[in-house]
A and B are shown apart, each in its own frame.
Chain A
Amino acid sequence: QKEVEQNSGPLSVPEGAIASLNCTYSDRGSQSFFWYRQYSGKSPELIMFIYSNGDKEDGRFTAQLNKASQYVSLLIRDSQPSDSATYLCAPGRTSYGKLTFGQGTILTVHP
């Protein structure tokens, strides 16, 4: 079993729709969960992090965490073509700051 699993996609949504990205992880010791966005040829940029069970909203982005199910998701509302990128899920342990990245989900938002 992989440490972090994401649907590689590609996930294609029309502009204005909600994009839903999912991630499961195997390390029950994970305390913090990060979503990074990576454009082709660029390095990842942090878009959200979540520590507690439930939802966390930041602008058009909502992260959802369920530690019992070892599941974290990212919703992007009102998707824009500029959201087209690879989204990486990365659980981490607070004591080290070490992150394990999933393979990423390729999102394409078409006009």
Chain B
Amino acid sequence: GAVVSQHPSRVICKSGTSVKIECRSLDFQATTMFWYRQFPKQSLMLMATSNEGSKATYEQGVEKDKFLINHASLTLSTLTVTSAHPEDSSFYICSASLTENEQFFGPGTRLTVL
């Protein structure tokens, strides 16, 4: 089956620092990747859609200057949380589209900002 990896799986950082999260599709090429955020006991909220070679499309209310997305290749998308603050602490999950409709999720990255 389709495998999506994320790195790191867990990160703890100080307030004001930037954190980069990588999302890779390991056995397929993904023209589209998605970034989600999930707070405790809540559902997944789509943050942005990342397309290879073009600018990401952000959902309403998501600050594009704070959450920088780069989709440099068909197998790699990165999310950088700039100047992270405690309220950015969350579970960040990426997904990659194998077909137009099948999305497979990475294992997630748990970010804790102190």
Contact = CB atoms under 8 A, between A and B. Distances in A.
A32 interface: yes
Nearest to A44: B105
Contacts of A49: 101-102
A97 B46 CA distance: 12
A100 B46 contact: yes
Which secondary structure characterizes the binding site on chain A? loop
Interface stretch (A66-74, A76-84, A101-109): A101-109
Interface of B: 32, 34, 42-46, 49, 93, 97, 100-108
Interface of A: 32, 34, 36, 42-46, 49, 88, 92, 94-104
14 contacts: A36-B105, A45-B105, A46-B102, A46-B104, A92-B101, A94-B100, A95-B100, A96-B49, A97-B32, A97-B34, A98-B49, A100-B46, A101-B43, A103-B43
A92 B34 CA distance: 13
A94 B102 contact: no
Given A49-B101, A88-B43, A95-B100, 17 more contacts: A34-B101, A36-B105, A42-B107, A43-B108, A44-B93, A46-B104, A46-B105, A49-B102, A88-B44, A92-B101, A97-B32, A97-B100, A97-B103, A99-B46, A100-B46, A101-B45, A103-B42
